[in-house]
Chain A
Amino acid sequence: MGPVPVIGVLAIQGDVVEHVRALGEAGARAVRVRRPDELDAIDGLVIPGGESTTIWKLARAFDLSEPLRKRLAGGLPAFGSCAGMIMLADRLRDGIGGQETFGGIDMTVRRNAFGRQVDSFESDIELTDVAGPPGQPFRAIFIRAPWVEEAGPAVEILGTESATGRIVAVRQGPLLATAFHPELTGDARVHRHFVDIVRERT
């Protein structure tokens, strides 16, 4: 193991604290990122759960979206959960007028695809690579969650939701995304997997 990687958590809105804690458990040093210059000091980035329209709106208003797109294009490892998955998708369905994403993963994500809050749920899913050997399912919490509607050939599918068969966890190169919230479970396996990706790249 090399030096402790520094991983930014995009701290515009959402469950930033939970990701900071999970990254700490996974052996990284987590810092909050709200300004363009704060992107320079990080080895990886987590985009938290939250409201994607708010995150997009503020990222644009505070000149963060273009520098962030450049860093992602330059190979910055990133992990997004829920709203974070939306922000890492190249294509978005059911966004609001003018809503864009940072992009990076060749996929189409449908926002709020699993329904409203009364439909939000938790269930066990099998996660390839991330969660260790088969038979150790991951308790996944889906909150007004998106799903992946189409994924390009370069996208590795890591997990599907069992009741719908929908894709809910993907990886493309150094980019990782889940439709659910590993940061809410106290199970740091997904964050450890991401920290490993960051370590490989630095």
Chain B
Amino acid sequence: MSVGSAAASNGHAQNDPSPGDVPATGTARVKRGMADMLKGGVIMDVVTPEQAKIAEDAGAVAVMALERVPADIRAQGGVARMSDPDMIEGIISAVSIPVMAKCRIGHFVEAQVLEALGVDYVDESEVLTPADEAHHVDKWAFTVPFVCGATSLGEALRRISEGAAMIRSKGEAGTGNVVEATRHMRQILTEIRALAGLRGDELYSAAKELRAPAELVAEVARAGKLPVVLFTAGGIATPADAAMMMQLGAEGVFVGSGIFKSGDPARRAEAIVKATTFHDDPDVLAKISRGLGEAMVGINLDTLAPADRYAGRGW
């Protein structure tokens, strides 16, 4: 379970439950529990209230409000920042499902603004241009929970030690190409399985190699999973992509450009929602994969210059 051991997984006292019947907000259980409620669901990037409504009607468990989907950030270039608060508020008032929004890596003031706007989850995202090349946001300092990207177990645990309450694979956002998400999911899950085979006294050296806190490494070795929910993201464009990630071990799916850069967003959105729930049923997948119109065009990653790769941002 990702939440029961929350207090044990870090030494942070802030926001920890106060005894008695005084309501305590922003506890690790409340933050991680929110991600538990999203499991088996699809979180969709939206840039307008109308798109947010389409996502909600299609069965999305949450939307990610942003000004430009990753595919457009790639196409247009320039510094990508937190979205305009008016735009985020417009989406918050358009839907009743949770609304997430992105801040730049290390940009704790953008995160403060997003918290003040009442967003339900902050994505400290490599899709935006990093604001700090050494430090991520200290996420324990916030009441709003954070999701962060990771390409490996060590990276995931470093984010968790900073207070991330949910992890997603980075993939390569805005490409419509699932290959990097596959790589990151396999990497993280293979490394978790490898820990389970180690003796207790071998975990210290594993922690050193992973560059992650030893107590978190021991917790993962014991539980056989991360202490927070693990979603996949980055390049998911079809129902089959979503289902493959779920079969690999993702607990849910972020879809960025894949829906609203496709020919028939409403149908594709609904099909990806269904594929995530029935990810292990090929008959259902065959049925819902029909008649979806054009998928987003997509980019082959060997044509992408190193500077255009987002997954390398963050550390």
Interface residue SS majority, chain B = loop
User: Are A122's CB and B24's CB within 8 A?
Assistant: yes
User: Is A28 close to B, CB under 8 A?
Assistant: no
Q: How big is the B interface, by class? A: 35 or more
Closest A residue, CB atoms, query B19? A124
Q: Which of A79-125 contact B (CB under 8 A)?
A: 82-83, 94-96, 111-112, 116-125
Are A83 and B33 also in contact (CB < 8 A) when A13-B277, A117-B120, A125-B21 are?
no
Which among A14, A111, A122 is the interface contact of B23 at CB below 8 angstroms?
A: A122
Are A117 and B145 also in contact (CB < 8 A) when A111-B96, A123-B23 are?
yes
Contacts of A181 in B (CB 8 A): 33
Contacts of A58 in B (CB 8 A): 59, 273-274, 277
Q: How many A-B residue pairs have CB under 8 A?
A: 142
Produce 1/0 per residue, A134-153, CB < 8 A to B. Answer: 00010101111000000000
Among A47-55, A67-75, A169-177, A191-199, the stretch that binds chain B is A47-55
User: Is B49 close to A, CB under 8 A?
Assistant: no
Produce 1/0 per residue, B9-49, CB < 8 A to A. Answer: 00000000101111111110110011011111100000000
User: Are A163's CB and B23's CB within 8 A?
Assistant: yes
Closest B residue, CB atoms, query A61? B274
List 8 A-B pairs, minimum CB-CB distance, nearest first: A117-B120, A121-B23, A57-B59, A186-B4, A13-B40, A51-B61, A15-B36, A123-B23
Query: Which residue numbers of A lie inside 8 Å of B, CB to CB?
Result: 11-18, 21, 34, 49-51, 53-54, 57-58, 61-62, 82-83, 94-96, 111-112, 116-125, 137, 139, 141-144, 162-163, 181, 184-186
Other than the known A50-B61, A117-B98, A184-B33, what 14 A-B pairs have Cβ atoms closer than 8 Å?
A11-B40, A14-B36, A17-B39, A21-B1, A51-B98, A54-B41, A54-B61, A54-B273, A96-B57, A116-B98, A122-B24, A143-B37, A163-B23, A184-B29
